[in-house]
Structure 1
Amino acid sequence: MIEFRRATPEDASAIHRLNYETFVEEIPQHHPNADRFLVDRFHDTNTYWIGLADGQLVAMCAIRDEHPFSLEQKGVTLPPGEWIEVRLLAVTPAYRNTRTFAGLMRAMLMEATDRGVEGIVISGTVREQKLYRRFGFIPFAEPVGTAEALYVPMQLTRYGFMQSETARTLRPKLLLAGPVELSNQVRAALAAQPVSHRSTEASRLLHSVQSRLSHLVKLPHVYTLLGSGTIANDAVAAQLRGRGVIIDTGEFGRRLIDHANRAGLEFDVVPLSAGRRLDLKRIGQHAPDWIWTVHCETSTGKLVDLDQLRQYAHTHPTKIAIDAISVVGTKVTDYSFAHLVTFVSGKALRNAPGLAFVAMRERAVPNPSIPRYLDLAGYDPIAFTQSVPLIQAMDVALHELTDAEIATHQSKLDAFVHELVRRGVSVELGDDQAPGIFSLTLPDTLSSIELGYQLAFHGYQVQFESVYLQRANCLQVATMGWTTDRDLQQVAAYIGTWLQKKTATPGSDGFRRGNLGGPNDESFDRGVLS
């Protein structure tokens, strides 16, 4: 596994050595010297991104935003806008492959994003123009340099990279709890031209979607709002009357408390007991008119035991409201005992974000005292402007969401955990583990942010940037999208390898089963103008 990071002063000697090997010995751009070191003329103002394999420098590039750029000094006029210049792109021969180049590309574009510029400008060797074009580079000036070392000035924006031939193949695999990886058919539906939300076609599509969702959650009435799970839970809060109980499950349980406070509801808070179980005795002491809980606490990937709540509902005249946003689509669940259940399009239903659903046991009753958008009784079938392409894509996604597909979440989670354990990672799973989200808390000596970025450089987007995850030094991998057992195994292998390297003792090499990310992809030849 190659580790990509910004260079530190301690990396300088290795950088000068690779610079010499590439731009003196391979490309005759500078004169040889006895020391076999080449210190770049802009070294003190360069930001270097480097790739390390087993602690050895195998790839690098230099980034500058100070003018004049090297290209400008050669008489080249830059494209309009703000740019950073990338130079000294060099990779040792054994690691000259698309995967290594893609990792550096992601690092460069992240640097451009962090600096708020249009993208990057670069001078790429003439002999590798085909490769650069595949990554989305566009020439903007005539070649510069000598006959022995001729380079083409090129530009690359983040959008250009994401639309490129290679990025379509190597684009990051989404292993998030939303947004999720979509099927080609759903993407095609999302690209459709909008039609009137008042049309017969829109009504037909929405009826199809709501019928399928009703069957999925086992509740007869489904209302569709344009928005996120937040608006769905606000709509639930508007339906609750009397004094209730909210279950404090963690970050997302506390969000329900915030919804209730903003809606002016009266309620008591009951935390979960050990093992994510409900304290039914304590709940009963409050004699609540309603109980509101999440089914899965997204911040931990742990499930609440709904069997207890189902039993309670059978013996008490209490309205049950459930936030099932991180569960629906990951496991077959009968919510027929509940009165209100919320979920969304952009998670395990495998559509783009934008549709929020409230399923109800009884038909919504008009309530003129609440905001119009929250009055679900008006949604018959479409109350306000809707995105018909989103509804069309939802219809496609639900046709794809068979029971067999729902079951794959558990098999993917099993494959992920098995690979972690195989690579020596200690994993504790309880009966409350959700099939859709796995949380990995790292030791205090390691950084979940660092691991998250390394996975991103290797083409896997996992969840690590939320404040509540960073506070817990936690990284999450989700199975919710159109991913495979192999995807989850590969991510687990990277995580296991990274942890082995970071926790290696001085006398070990940090590996138990070989080095991932070795030279095994399409090759490219030379570097970027020095």
Structure 2
Amino acid sequence: MAKASSYLFKIASHPQEFEQIFRLNHETFAEEIPQHEKNEQGLLVDAYHEHNTYIIALKEKEVIGMISLADNRPFSLDKKLGDIGDYLPNQMNIHRLCEIRLLSVKGKYRKTKVFIGLLRMLHHVFKEKGYEGAVISGILREEKLYRHIGFIPFAHQVGSAGAIYQPMYITKDHILLTEKLLPSPVSFLPGPVRVSEEILQTLGRQAFSHRDAAFMELIRRVQASLTQMTQANFVQIMIGTGTLANDAVAAQLALLKGKGLVLSNGEFGERLVNRAKRYQLQCRIVRKTWGEPFTETELAAELDSEIDWIWYVHCETSTGTVNEIERITRMIGGKPIKQAVDCISTIGALPVDLKNVYLATGVSGKGTESISGLAFVFHNHEIQPNEHIPPYLDLGLYYLHDSVPYTHSSSLLSALEQALTKDFTKKYSDVANMYAYTYKRLTDSQFELLPKEQQHSSPIISILLDKQISSVEIGEWMRRQGYYLHYQSSYLQERNWIQISMLGNVSLAEILDMLDLFESMCLYLRNLQDEITEALLD
């Protein structure tokens, strides 16, 4: 395992953490600041403990710093002053306030990054809960620091000798100003992905009509870039998501007379199966366990003379398993079997060759690193309109009208054109290198992964966490540290999986930093669970 992060910051949630909080509370507010009486146990449980959210700083397994917040009235300041609403400015929304208390950092860590780390976590929690402001009882000796952060004194001082406090408040605007001081979050989500400033700037330009000659020139340039990238003859660009693109494909498959084959080895394969049922496609369904690749023997047995078309997902987003187009093309051989392929998680992330494919789908907001909202359907044959297909799904109408049968978006197309100037040959190499490094490192650290066998490349790695670690807990923890991993989809939470996606604009250096933190967090949580198990056995 790589080096552990120096400090970890999290929301306290385990009994061992709370016991250390009580000890640090006693050490600070009974021994150092004589606000409470000392006791032999060395534990001080805060009077508002049941309502407190504690942000803690950890050095290995030791709680070395903390800060708490609560939004249940009355606050401790209400008890010292009376209703604090009588003292606060009228513009403060008294119903969306929290009280920040119990700021404490152990002595030898007070000139380190611990305080800044606590404030960063506080910033994230403040935003999550939608607070409009906060109040504190600021110890007098640190009043200058609080003012520097943005706190403003109100009301008279409270407390007793040795523990005098100045009531202070801060507004949401001041809290959110600290966002400029925070590192930019890094997204390892499969979408939406982080986009460049140049792409964001295109959205600030005035939109122009989809009937202008300039618009038609724009969409032709974008189509040329996409077909050059994929070796397809044509691409239709629709306003919508990958779901729309796959619905348009299903509508075309429904026109074919022969029987089809739908492959499923994950969530998005199952969505193709569901779509096939909705469109009443005549087909066989072949399922594998999630993450299991289809073997050549299995494919050879299924691709018989009865099959006219096959529909599958190129990269199964729910697992990271790649169903290789080249291998399936080779298995088809000279048979007149048409391939329909969901390439939503591979176009722009892996080399994709569609010259032997009947229909394929993609989107703007994943591997191409543009803004979400455009759906692609690639094809190599001319498509005629069909009155049995709903107009918005009729690829023939798009083909007949140069991909603009209806209102379109110059803003999204301009953003996509900018995104397509990227050197994707280099990106394919970068994704392969990041995948290989991440897969080996996590495997060496004893994590169970999908794909089960290391492929040449995949833009997605799934981590199958053991029961000691909650995917939701680790995902929330990472998010508050500025790393967005994929854990919120129901199909991942049901299995306690978490994913790292390299579809977007990420670097190997960012992966190194993220993995340092991820492994440290997992090690910490495993150690906590081991302690609980040992205590139960004792």
Tell me if 1:65 matches 2:71. yes
Separation in 1, partners of 2:378, 2:215: 20
The structure number with the bigger radius of gyration is 2
Tell me if 1:476 matches 2:502. no
How far the C-alpha of 1:474 sits from its partner, in A, is: 1.2
The answer to whether the 8 A contact 2:67-2:118 is kept is: no
Percent identity, please.
28
Structure 2 counterpart SS, 1:490: helix
Match of 2:303 among 252, 277, 284: 284
In structure 1, the residue matched to 2:198 is 185
How far the C-alpha of 1:463 sits from its partner, in A, is: 0.6
Deviations 1:352-384 (A, max 9, x none): 211111111113211121111101232323222
Relative to structure 1, the CA distance from residue 149 to residue 51 in structure 2 (aligned partners, 3 Å threshold; closer, same or farther) is: same
How far the C-alpha of 1:422 sits from its partner, in A, is: 5.6
Q: Which runs of 5+ in 1 are unaligned?
A: 134-138, 509-530
Runs of 4+ in 1 over 6 A off after TM superposition: 505-508
Separation in 2, partners of 1:407, 1:388: 31
Q: Give 1:223-372 correspondences, 5 Å limit.
A: 223-240=236-253, 241-242=256-257, 243-271=259-287, 275-278=293-296, 279-285=298-304, 287-372=306-391
- AA paired with 1:392? S
Separation in 1, partners of 2:438, 2:514: 8
Tell me if 1:394 matches 2:410. no
Mean CA deviation greater in 53-62 or 468-477: 53-62
Separation in 2, partners of 1:118, 1:421: 41
How far the C-alpha of 1:406 sits from its partner, in A, is: 2.7
Relative to structure 1, the CA distance from residue 99 to residue 61 in structure 2 (aligned partners, 3 Å threshold; closer, same or farther) is: closer
Tell me if 1:30 matches 2:35. yes
How far the C-alpha of 1:275 sits from its partner, in A, is: 4.0
How far the C-alpha of 1:452 sits from its partner, in A, is: 1.6
Separation in 2, partners of 1:415, 1:130: 46
Match of 1:103 among 104, 118, 121: 121
Relative to structure 1, the CA distance from residue 399 to residue 46 in structure 2 (aligned partners, 3 Å threshold; closer, same or farther) is: same
Separation in 2, partners of 1:195, 1:393: 14
Separation in 2, partners of 1:266, 1:371: 20
Structure 2 counterpart SS, 1:486: helix
In structure 1, the residue matched to 2:103 is 89
- AA paired with 2:233? P
The answer to whether the 8 A contact 1:291-1:319 is kept is: yes
Mean CA deviation greater in 445-454 or 7-16: 7-16
Tell me if 1:430 matches 2:453. yes
In structure 2, the residue matched to 1:384 is 406
The answer to whether the 8 A contact 1:220-1:362 is kept is: yes
Relative to structure 1, the CA distance from residue 19 to residue 202 in structure 2 (aligned partners, 3 Å threshold; closer, same or farther) is: farther
Deviations 1:233-260 (A, max 9, x none): 0010111122211112221111001112
Ranked by relative contact order (alpha carbons within 8 Å, sequence separation 6 or more), the top structure is 1
Deviations 1:430-467 (A, max 9, x none): 25464210111122333222222222222211011211
Tell me if 1:201 matches 2:219. no
> Please, what TM-score do these two structures have when normalized by structure 2?
0.82
Separation in 1, partners of 2:470, 2:388: 49
Separation in 2, partners of 1:391, 1:29: 64
Structure 2 counterpart SS, 1:246: strand
- AA paired with 1:101? L
The answer to whether the 8 A contact 1:144-1:153 is kept is: no
Q: Which runs of 5+ in 2 are unaligned?
A: 532-538
Separation in 1, partners of 2:384, 2:215: 24
Separation in 2, partners of 1:144, 1:191: 48
Separation in 2, partners of 1:201, 1:426: 51
Separation in 2, partners of 1:8, 1:431: 36
In structure 1, the residue matched to 2:536 is none
How far the C-alpha of 1:289 sits from its partner, in A, is: 2.1
Q: Give 1:214-229 correspondences, 5 Å limit.
A: 214-229=227-242
Relative to structure 1, the CA distance from residue 365 to residue 102 in structure 2 (aligned partners, 3 Å threshold; closer, same or farther) is: same
Relative to structure 1, the CA distance from residue 17 to residue 504 in structure 2 (aligned partners, 3 Å threshold; closer, same or farther) is: closer
Relative to structure 1, the CA distance from residue 10 to residue 82 in structure 2 (aligned partners, 3 Å threshold; closer, same or farther) is: same
The answer to whether the 8 A contact 1:320-1:340 is kept is: yes
The answer to whether the 8 A contact 1:141-1:154 is kept is: no
State the Cα RMSD in Å: 3.2
Relative to structure 1, the CA distance from residue 65 to residue 449 in structure 2 (aligned partners, 3 Å threshold; closer, same or farther) is: same
- AA paired with 1:306? I
Tell me if 1:449 matches 2:472. yes
The answer to whether the 8 A contact 2:133-2:172 is kept is: yes
Structure 1 counterpart SS, 2:405: coil
The answer to whether the 8 A contact 1:452-1:462 is kept is: yes
The answer to whether the 8 A contact 2:66-2:118 is kept is: no
Match of 1:18 among 12, 15, 24: 24
Structure 1 counterpart SS, 2:356: coil
Deviations 1:304-346 (A, max 9, x none): 1322321245412222100001111111121110011101111
Separation in 2, partners of 1:34, 1:42: 19
Relative to structure 1, the CA distance from residue 201 to residue 411 in structure 2 (aligned partners, 3 Å threshold; closer, same or farther) is: same
How far the C-alpha of 1:230 sits from its partner, in A, is: 0.3
Relative to structure 1, the CA distance from residue 151 to residue 23 in structure 2 (aligned partners, 3 Å threshold; closer, same or farther) is: farther
How far the C-alpha of 1:70 sits from its partner, in A, is: 4.0
How far the C-alpha of 1:165 sits from its partner, in A, is: 4.9
Separation in 2, partners of 1:291, 1:410: 27
How far the C-alpha of 1:262 sits from its partner, in A, is: 1.6
Separation in 2, partners of 1:105, 1:394: 33
In structure 1, the residue matched to 2:172 is 156
